Amino acid sequence: MQIQVFKFGGASINSGERIKNMAGILQRYAIGPVLVVVSAIGKTTNALEEVLENYLANDPLAVLDSFQKVSDYHFAILDSLFSDKSHPVYGEVTSLFDQLRGYIRKGHLYSQTKPGRDFEYDQIVSFGELFASAIVHHYLVSQGLTCRLFDVRELIRTDATYRDARVDWNTTGRLIQDAVSGWFPDHPGKGAIAITQGFIGCDPAGNTTTLGREGSDFSAAIFAFSLQAREMTIWKDVPGVMNADPKLMPDAVCLDTLSYREVIELAYYGASVIHPKTIKPLENAGIRLRVKSFLHPELEGTVVENIREWKISTPIYILKQNQVLISVSPRDFSFIMEENLSEIFRTLAAFRIKVNVMQNSAISFSICVDNDPHKITPLLSFLQKNYETRYNQGIELYTIRHYTDEAITRITRDRKILMELRSRNTFQVLLDKKNG
Ligand code: ASP
Ligand code: MG
């Protein structure tokens, strides 16, 4: 059976109009069995992160206030999709909001160890995908599509690394095969749609887990791999994978093809176009990935596949904002030796901090990392105990793949350069705050 996997992200379903548009795409393009992964509506994940922050701060009024915003937003969308207020979707979505309200109302006495901030994150923030899938499922059914909703927590099994859960591929593969493949053959023909949530999974104890921000692409790839899908499509608000963020560079162009390898590189350097973990399962199973516009579905988009001699003449620009540059040197002016480096890396691993760029000299070692205060503050206090530590915030990290002199000038002109690295295909530069 040739299954296709479609992933619809937050922007593709951020209003009643867009959900109608999504249904139109499925009516037109869901030929044969399709597994649809949806993420949270619009910017709901950010809004739920706010609920979480208020909850962790034990601020009941702020909790309810932020909760209400999420709820109003979803019910406004429901009202624009369903004219009949007695439609079962209302009961279902209300009951999901009741569950979340029940959870956050209990209040929270924050402790580092139990149950832990990351655990709480997953229990609260995962609701975004549950709301979205319930709404979209009912809407698709109302439009006459053959559609069944699967709770992904019964399909994707992970470990208990909350906020960054690791997939148990064997169990997951078996669960997906049994539940989803088993469902499709009963519904042959056009438009049999299995819909489920991106971003979330479930640990062996039955607790909800999440796969990391923007993880729905990865969820879709887990399904594509487990179902041996023919192709996976990510529907986005851009024509495909662009060579730069069109909001920053209006002359950005859509790339027709990319190799799996190049996409892994782009994701590694911080291109937000596709979640970094997405490619490996697709590459392993030889599943073609398409990135297409939900606004112009007639366009071909970008095709990612196994191209050995992939070449490109356009530079690709990747910007990571809000970086911190941390430089450490031993207090006694001794050299930065392997022992120092391994201690620093052990600490970075313990705080789960990813190094975006690094450079070392005889007596100093510099790293550039994302500015996540929850991680950076304990890291800095650790480093300051043992090293002379300096840090610089608000930095921009630009990476140019397949760079040219012209591309470098375009990025660095009139800017203060803090660090620069160059390899055969990749140019990276750290720039101080704009006008800095
Ligand atoms: N809703 C989640 C997020 O915004 C997952 C995703 O969109 O892929 O991070
Ligand atoms: Mg999202």
Q: What is the pLDDT of residues 246-272, one digit of tens each?
A: 999 999 999 999 999 999 999 889 887
Smallest CA-to-CA distance from 37 within 53, 26, 49, 47 is with 26
How many angstroms does the Cα of residue 198 sit away from the middle of ligand 2?
Answer: 9
Q: What is the pLDDT of residue 78?
A: 98
From 51-60, 139-148, 335-344, the region with the lowest mean pLDDT: 335-344
Residue 352 φ/ψ, nearest 5 degrees: 55, 50
Q: Which residues contact 138 (CB under 8 A, 6 or more apart)?
A: 82, 87, 88, 89, 92
Residue 436 has pLDDT above 50, yes or no: no
Using DSSP's 3-state secondary structure scheme, residue 199 falls into coil
Confidence of residue 363 (pLDDT cuts 50, 70, 90): confident
Q: What is the pLDDT of residue 154?
A: 98
Q: Which pLDDT tens digit goes with each residue over 325-343? A: 999 998 887 887 888 889 9
Closest C-alpha to ligand 1, atom 5: 214
Q: State which amino acid sits at residue 227.
A: L
- What span, in angstroms and rounded, lies between the C-alpha atoms of 66 and 57? 13
Q: What is the pLDDT of residue 111?
A: 53
From 6-10, 12-16, 53-57, 167-171, the region with the lowest mean pLDDT: 53-57
Contact indicator for 148, 193 with CB cutoff of 8 Å: yes
Q: Which pLDDT tens digit goes with each residue over 107-125? A: 666 555 567 889 999 999 9
Q: Which pLDDT tens digit goes with each residue over 275-297? A: 889 999 999 999 999 999 999 99
The mean pLDDT value of the chain amounts to 93
pTM of the model: 0.88
- What span, in angstroms and rounded, lies between the C-alpha atoms of 169 and 430? 38
- What span, in angstroms and rounded, lies between the C-alpha atoms of 334 and 321? 33
Q: What is the pLDDT of residue 109?
A: 61
Our measurement of the distance from residue 283's CA atom to the centroid of its chain's CA atoms, rounded to an integer in Å, reads 19
Closest C-alpha to ligand 1, atom 7: 214
Closest C-alpha to ligand 1, atom 8: 214
Q: Which runs of E-coded beta strand occur in 169-311?
A: 192-197, 200-202, 208-210, 231-236, 257-259, 288-293, 302-305
How many angstroms does the Cα of residue 275 sit away from the middle of ligand 1?
Answer: 10
Question: Kind and range of the H or E element at 36?
Answer: strand 34-38
- What span, in angstroms and rounded, lies between the C-alpha atoms of 135 and 91? 11
Pocket of ligand 1 (CB under 6 A): 9-10, 39-40, 45, 128, 198-199, 213-216
- Runs of H (alpha helix) within 269-307: 279-285
Q: What is the pLDDT of residue 31?
A: 85
- What span, in angstroms and rounded, lies between the C-alpha atoms of 365 and 350? 18
Question: What is the arithmetic mean of pLDDT over 197-220?
Answer: 97
Q: Which of 46, 129, 214, 223 to mutate to test the pocket of ligand 1 (most atoms within 8 A of CB)?
A: 214
Residue 299 has pLDDT above 50, yes or no: yes
Residue 135 has pLDDT above 90, yes or no: yes
Domains and CATH numbers, the chain: 4-236 (3.40.1160.10), 316-431 (3.30.2130.10)
Residue 237 φ/ψ, nearest 5 degrees: -90, 10
Ligand of minimum distance to the alpha carbon of 37: 1
How many angstroms does the Cα of residue 46 sit away from the middle of ligand 1?
Answer: 9
Atom of ligand 1 nearest to the CA of 215: 8
From 134-143, 271-280, 419-428, the region with the lowest mean pLDDT: 271-280
Q: What is the pLDDT of residue 309?
A: 82
Instruction: Specify whether the backbone of 378 is left (phi greater than 0), alpha (psi in -120 to 50) or beta.
Output: alpha
Confidence of residue 171 (pLDDT cuts 50, 70, 90): very high
Closest C-alpha to ligand 1, atom 2: 214
- What span, in angstroms and rounded, lies between the C-alpha atoms of 293 and 291? 7
Atom of ligand 1 nearest to the CA of 213: 9
Residue 287 φ/ψ, nearest 5 degrees: -100, 125
How many angstroms does the Cα of residue 268 sit away from the middle of ligand 2?
Answer: 19
In the chain, % of residues over pLDDT 70: 96
Q: What is the pLDDT of residue 433?
A: 80
Q: Which of 37, 48, 216 to mutate to test the pocket of ligand 1 (most atoms within 8 A of CB)?
A: 216
How many angstroms does the Cα of residue 43 sit away from the middle of ligand 2?
Answer: 6
Query: What are the b/e assignments for 77-99, b being 16+ CB within 10 Å?
Result: bbeebbeeeeeebbebbeebbee
Question: In the numeric block, which tokens belong to residue 351?
Answer: 């705080």
Closest C-alpha to ligand 1, atom 6: 214
Question: What is the arithmetic mean of pLDDT over 221-241?
Answer: 96
Smallest CA-to-CA distance from 52 within 122, 112, 106 is with 122
Contact indicator for 159, 166 with CB cutoff of 8 Å: yes
Confidence of residue 397 (pLDDT cuts 50, 70, 90): very high
Instruction: Specify whether the backbone of 362 is left (phi greater than 0), alpha (psi in -120 to 50) or beta.
Output: alpha
Residue 156 has pLDDT above 60, yes or no: yes
Q: What is the pLDDT of residue 180?
A: 95
